[in-house]
Structure 1
Amino acid sequence: MTSHELSTRLGTLLRADQISTADEVRAEHGTDKWHASALPDVVVFAESTEDVVAVMKFASENKIPVYTRAAGTGHTGGCVPVHGGILLSVMRMNRILEINPSDGVCVTQPGVITGELQNAVREHGWYYPPDPASLKECSIGGNIATNAGGPRCLKYGVTKQYVLGLTVVLASGEILKTGGRCHKNSTGFDLTSLIVGCEGMLGIVTEITVRLIPHPQTRAMLGASFPDFTAAAAAVQAILDSGTLPSALEITDGFTMAAARDYLGADKLPPGDAYLMIEIDGNVETVARELPALHDFLLEHQALRIDTAPDEPSCERIWQLRRDFSYSLKHTGLTKLNEDIVVPRSKLVDLVNFAQQLQADTGIPVACFGHAGDGNIHTNIMVDNYADPATKKVADAALDRLFTWVIENGGVISGEHGIGLAKKPWIRQALGEVSIQTHLAVKKALDPTNILNPGKFLD
């Protein structure tokens, strides 16, 4: 079916302004923040669950691939329409339907930007904790697709811990309701958790009920530099062993520190080859007591310099430095292959040592920073030109060594970005054959003709 024929037939189901075959619209919706791209035959802008039902019934009858896309901020090519077909955008489904403090829930459509959802519930004194780095531009629907995390998942957990219920349109066009608005539910299989993280391969989420918690009264931070990564990692373990559970624990290696000095200026960063950011939150009295105690504790564990942030503006300055680390790596002019691997926390130093050896063996710089508290260290392979076949071959070989090492050391190849296209070559190694076959059985049960996001890691 040609783009024109597809558009014409969809035009009997939706308004004309919900359908586009314009080259620039198709190109915009054919990619995410990874390097892969492909053109869909048509882009459809859903505005309701009923729109999605109509599209899926049509697609199911005609066996047309459907790729669901929200804000397009993913890092793995998860929404790239590799087989053309229909690119179904849910970004017009961008309303917060209900904020109910009495029930401790918020009901939202998938196109709502995560940061805007957080701000909306904050006005009621409540808190939606998951905080991906891209929260000002990513959508809650995309967070559901990949089970997104963020720095504060150390204390508060990732997206799936906050999803109570979903409205899901299946490949057939049928509507599946999972969970609800109760905070405890042991009724039947946990289909909600099955959908969260499925990367759009099992159904299309059109309504989400998330759990809210009371917002902490205040927060404070410490930014501490260390002589090397080993000392910083030891401090991470010591903090947790002491009985303190920060809301965030972020670590940065020497390569990233050097890039930041080049980008921001040498005087903008403290001395040392590693940096640790610790955020604590809670009631005012507790935070006021914990902050100086944690400061003294870090001095006892080789901290070279500690910057104290007792209030909101100073906390934001430290978080801005964390955001600047990403910009610093981009400033090197190299392409950042951002791998969100996770290792057991005891393997943090081993991971960085391995990364340094990988850099020495391949000549490709490797930068490590991220969520030290849960072992989710973003290991960035920094390549000159990934589009060049020779460079890509060396980089892919380096990725293979990295993922193999991670798996052999009890880790996983994705903590919050998902698999998509980027990690597809390693999925069997990561999951094992029995797990792969179980995935395929679930996929066949819910999408027997494989029209939902085909071409990704289950194909």
Structure 2
Amino acid sequence: MSTVYEDLRKLLPEECVSIASGDIEVHRIDKWHAAADPEVVVFAQSTDQVAAVMRYAFENEVPVYTRGAGVGYVGGCVPVQGGIALSVAQMDQILEVNTGDGVAVVQPGVITGQLQEAAREKGWYYPPDPASLKECSIGGNIATNAGGPRCLKYGVTKQYVLGLEVVTAKGEIMRVGGRCHKNKTGFDLTTLMCGSEGMLGIVTEATLRMIPHPETRAMLGASFVDFTAAAAAVQAILDAGILPSALEITDAFTLAAARDYLGEENLPPGDAYLMVEIDGRIQSVKNELEGLKKRLEGLGALRVNEAADEAACEEIWQLRRDFSYSLKHTGLTKLNEDIVVPRSQLVELVNFARQLQQDTGIPVACFGHAGDGNIHTNLMVEDYADPVIKERADAAVDKLFTWVLEHGGAITGEHGVGLAKKPWIKQALGPVAFEMHQSLKHAMDPKGILNPGKFLD
């Protein structure tokens, strides 16, 4: 029996430590295809327990892979060197929702959607909204600096993290930031932890900024003859001084898959679809909605669907969610690459994707967050387990990432680097920045036990 297992049984309650096959199976993988068995799974229930595990791991140089809800897309929590899979999923309490201070204090296992509901009950708003908000956790959101459709107007996770409690690699408990909305005391270690992918410390508590909830929202769904026309509409909306809360775009391949999945009659005409969400005071939203509809019609929209209330907005958002299901319905494996390009490069990106599809024979579906250039570029592969197909698909991803970097873009906007994008990290960061990452990693994790084997190794 594992020595690590026996040692941890002496440090923690019996129910917190497991080598059961079912627990090992769950904790060997996330939503990506890579998998590796941990030696032992720990279900932490408190900061003190996390600290005890880390003190043991540091002394004995045991790898530790922290895991939240396990719904990442890049193999970020996969325990590639065995060791301890440290789950914080049971640390799932909303400790405080304080409208006076405009903060919520939560443990890392809290599901994002549950926090949004708790804030909404008090008339307040926690804006970060990753597509997996009903299943992803705050700890994972912080680890990847998660975004979502509404980050165009409201920003990504790091804009809402005021303070953190962090357990270091040595098992010390550190507090950074606080509950003040302005704080310039020392280096910004709070933001440093956002997007650190479990490699610099373990978040055990987060103090998050809330804002008053918008009084209402409304949406428009506009179809266009092609992607170029829809992308032009995106820029025209912003140039007109309008800042939507969300601005989503969809290409022809995705619409074709949706027509096959949902039925031709349930989809709008055209080869591109634009979703525009606005929010604010009731009267201002009403006026803005009318003006936006006229503007989109003037920009050549084939059809504009108006959603003036909550139920109608949800119908349009459901269509957006159905795009993913439609791609899955094709029977192909979706390699979901969350690349980002400058907004002026949207049309060029989709033109490149069409050429990549022609050159490789691999269908490419593009849809996502047009307002900030974060377009999910999905390579639709027949059988990724087939070595020949995998080699062809990996070569296509390499071409995509190379093009994106050459055009001033980024290889990930939301999902993180993890294992999936590790081969391109030096190219993406550059040699000096990569070396600086390694220096920071060594300073905060001198024995390299936090999430080893990922993009800095």
TM-score by length of 1: 0.99
| Residue number in structure 2 paired with 1:39 | 37
1:93 shift after superposition: 0.1
Write out per-residue CA displacement over residues 278-305 of structure 1, whole angstroms, 9 at most, x where no aligned residue: 0000000100100011000000001000
1:23 shift after superposition: 1.3
- Match of 1:160, SS? helix
1:99 shift after superposition: 0.7
Q: For 1:172-211, what aligned pairs fall within 5 Å after superposition?
A: 172-211=170-209
1:6 shift after superposition: 1.4
| Residue number in structure 2 paired with 1:352 | 350
| Residue number in structure 2 paired with 1:271 | 269
Write out per-residue CA displacement over residues 199-222 of structure 1, whole angstroms, 9 at most, x where no aligned residue: 000000000000000000000000
Q: Percent identity?
A: 71
Q: Distance in 2 between matches of 1:259 and 1:133?
A: 19
- The amino acid that maps onto 1:218 is T
Residue 104 of structure 2: which of 103, 106, 110 is its match?
A: 106
The aligned length equals 457
1:4 shift after superposition: 2.6
Write out per-residue CA displacement over residues 59-83 of structure 1, whole angstroms, 9 at most, x where no aligned residue: 0000000000000010000000000
Residue 137 of structure 1: which of 135, 138, 148 is its match?
A: 135
Q: Distance in 1 between matches of 2:192 and 2:384?
A: 34
Q: Distance in 2 between matches of 1:395 and 1:164?
A: 41
| Residue number in structure 1 paired with 2:325 | 327
Q: Distance in 1 between matches of 2:113 and 2:435?
A: 37
Write out per-residue CA displacement over residues 245-300 of structure 1, whole angstroms, 9 at most, x where no aligned residue: 00000000000000000000010001000000000000001001000110000000
| Residue number in structure 2 paired with 1:92 | 90
Q: Distance in 1 between matches of 2:329 and 2:410?
A: 29
TM-score by length of 2: 1.00
Residue 68 of structure 1: which of 53, 56, 66 is its match?
A: 66
- The amino acid that maps onto 2:444 is L
- Match of 2:10, SS? coil
Q: For 1:51-450, what aligned pairs fall within 5 Å after superposition?
A: 51-450=49-448
1:236 shift after superposition: 0.2
1:396 shift after superposition: 0.6
Q: Distance in 1 between matches of 2:409 and 2:282?
A: 37
Q: Distance in 2 between matches of 1:387 and 1:190?
A: 43
Q: Distance in 2 between matches of 1:57 and 1:270?
A: 58
- The amino acid that maps onto 1:121 is A
1:163 shift after superposition: 0.1
Q: Distance in 2 between matches of 1:21 and 1:130?
A: 35
What CA RMSD, in Å, does the superposition of the two structures yield over aligned residues?
0.5
Tell me which moved more, 16-25 or 130-139. Answer: 16-25
Q: Distance in 2 between matches of 1:139 and 1:217?
A: 26
Tell me which moved more, 128-137 or 13-22. Answer: 13-22
Q: Distance in 2 between matches of 1:326 and 1:264?
A: 12
- The amino acid that maps onto 1:411 is G
Q: Distance in 2 between matches of 1:141 and 1:187?
A: 24
Q: Distance in 2 between matches of 1:444 and 1:387?
A: 36
1:388 shift after superposition: 1.1
Q: Distance in 1 between matches of 2:53 and 2:145?
A: 25
1:341 shift after superposition: 0.4
Write out per-residue CA displacement over residues 164-217 of structure 1, whole angstroms, 9 at most, x where no aligned residue: 000000000011111000000111100001011000000000000000000000
- The amino acid that maps onto 2:154 is Y
Q: Distance in 2 between matches of 1:141 and 1:302?
A: 43
- The amino acid that maps onto 1:251 is I
Deviating beyond 6 angstroms after TM superposition, the runs of 4 or more aligned structure 1 residues are: none
- Match of 1:12, SS? helix
| Residue number in structure 2 paired with 1:23 | 21
Residue 48 of structure 2: which of 6, 28, 50 is its match?
A: 50
Q: Distance in 2 between matches of 1:53 and 1:270?
A: 54
